Chains A and B, each alone.
Chain A
Amino acid sequence: MKRFPRSTIAATVAGAATFALVLAGCSAGAGSEQSKDEKVKLTVATFNEFGYDDLFAEYEKANPNVKVTHKKAATSNEARDNLTTRLAAGSGLSDVEAIEVDWLPELLQYSDKFVTVSSSEVKGRWLDWKEKAATDADGNLIAYGTDIGPEGVCYRSDLFAAAGLPTDRAEVAKLLGTSWESYYAAGEKFAAAGTNVPWFDSAGATWQGVVNQIPNAYEEKDGTVIATENPEVKKAYTSVLDASSTLSAHLGQWSDDWTASFQNNGFATMLCPGWMLGVISGNAEGVTGWDIADTFPGGGGNWGGSYLTVPKQSKNQAEAQKLAAWLTAPEQQLKAFASKGTFPSQVDALASDELLGAVNPFFNNAPTGQILANRAAAVDVTPFKGESYFAINDAMQQALTRVEDGTMTADESWAQFTTDVKALG
């Protein structure tokens, strides 16, 4: 009996300490090794699908002294966790790291941890707003743009037909109009036909479209958080929720129910950036009727898109930059578009016949290349995303979800959002 307490306490302490280890372990360095032999070894870390697999082989063929190792993370969130943890540790990053536009702003304040892209070499390569988003306060460009996410509206022509609405791409674009009001009004018309199918998937997904059209939604240029006082945000919040109460399927985007709904006539339309086309055709395999309209409510909109960076941790910065510059050149990005559909952000690529002639059989043979190029040209607002953007937008998404699932009224949820944003400071 006497012996029990000591071992118990030791076990308790050990158990609890293991947890603390998780926290502190992240500050400990994980050594990286780089041999100084003839052959240059480069590691490239990407996520989801960049369409680079064949390009690496091509690069190695052209540069026999280089050996490229590709590390692929499943999701952008996973890549973000990995990048920030190793950035904090000061070692362990790949020579070329891919980052996504939504968490680019939080890295911009640590732009000194990345190698600056020399502008002479890549001058005018990208769309203005694509390049601007990766430029820090001192005017240094820190990332090579890869793809962008110009948004159109995807719709189910079979459900439209059942509701007595036009099904042809051009007519649907006219029906949906160019404002949020006309988009919602079309939804009301669809609902009035009694098809019992919701108009769009969720308030959260629609919010992404709306918020990316507000220049300074959550933060002033100097980083002051204005999310809770900004009348534009409050107005957008109210209007999205008003629409959602009658038109939404209340399916949180990316949730299991959302994925399953593609096979169950879950909703009739959704805002779709270029990279979403692959997601839809994957989830809706076997479903016919998907199409894409060349319009977007409230002007143009961009959602997502990525960059390549070279961290200062890299032992082969010059070689890594060479590779990143090559990968993001228009010719290579067009090959990536052909293989995985990532829509290029390079001016020259956008004008190429190869891109403009691209057709997507799943979307009723829509000329997706031409449509998305039009959509990219329509983007006229570059939303400012500061270091708190990701966290605040996250809180907003949850605020919308709370109203959609009925746990709170719009006012209660807004109050909770205000508390959440305050807690970030």
Chain B
Amino acid sequence: MSGNDPIPPHQIAWVFDLNKCSGCQTCSVACKVHWNAESDTDAMWWCTVNTQPGRGTPRDYEEMGGGYDSAGNLRLGQLPTLEEFGGAWDFNWKEVYYGGKGRETFLGPTNGGPSWGMNWDEDQGAGEYPNAYFFYLPRLCNHCSRPACLDACPEQAIYKRPSDGLVLRDEARCEGHQQCMRGCPYKKIYFNAQRGVAQHCIGCFPRLEKGVAPACVRQCPGRGVFIGFLDDADSAVHRLVEDWRVALPLHPEWNTRPNVFYVPPLSPFKLREDRSVDESERRLPISYLESLFGTEVRGALHTLEGELARRKRGEPSELLDTLIAYEWKELLGPFSADPAEIAWD
């Protein structure tokens, strides 16, 4: 924790199981419909899912810098450009439908010559056919325990809530300097030009406050996201992160101590040149996973594979039972309230 803010007693955390994430973007869309559905916020996707390996969103964000060096000094990185975020396209619906031009025109983005978007390199990945590989990585604000955005803000507009550890911005204080966007190494902060403020995932705090899980969690049809308090030893997030150590933060070397964790992906076994199966190696190179999740990813995958082998032999596995989450509400931790049941005063 940087600055003088106390470490919050309760820290909320997300665990995304990448073996369940099918890249459908329901989390991204649910988030957007909640908070950024207006057309002047077309470019703003507080939650995104990208194909990995890939350049991500904003494009090549991993090269842009930010976070802390190993000595704990804040590093301001680049400010991503609108072009690097991409998207925010207008389309010529009216011209096509009612313009009287017939087949001389066709529907497509009309502004800016599209060169990138929130999911531009979807399903491209890497490797050589047939051993091509990829997986999906959902990303939102990491609600870090050492939030570089908070440190970077010259207006002290960003705060970490004591009640749940969410990193939020007081929009009345934000002056739109966009230093937070340079400080955040994950580049998950957007500038709302209409309102002159930077914005990022708010953890769906109005929902949390009513005991309802965030939209990205509650709407995930893959049942792939767990939420809960990291300090609650009984919670699934605690067990996966602290006990089983199968859920890891993205780019721990950026030193912001994220509170979004990922169960690393398995992948099919490799094929040899003659197309026979090599069961000693999976397609996703471990070196690539290490570049994302650090060296601990080896141990996490080892644990996961070990438990899978046990289960295949018909033995019980507490870890796999947790990941299966027989009842959906197991994923939601204390946030299992049904929003439709809320009676507003």
State yes or no: do A and B come from one complex: no
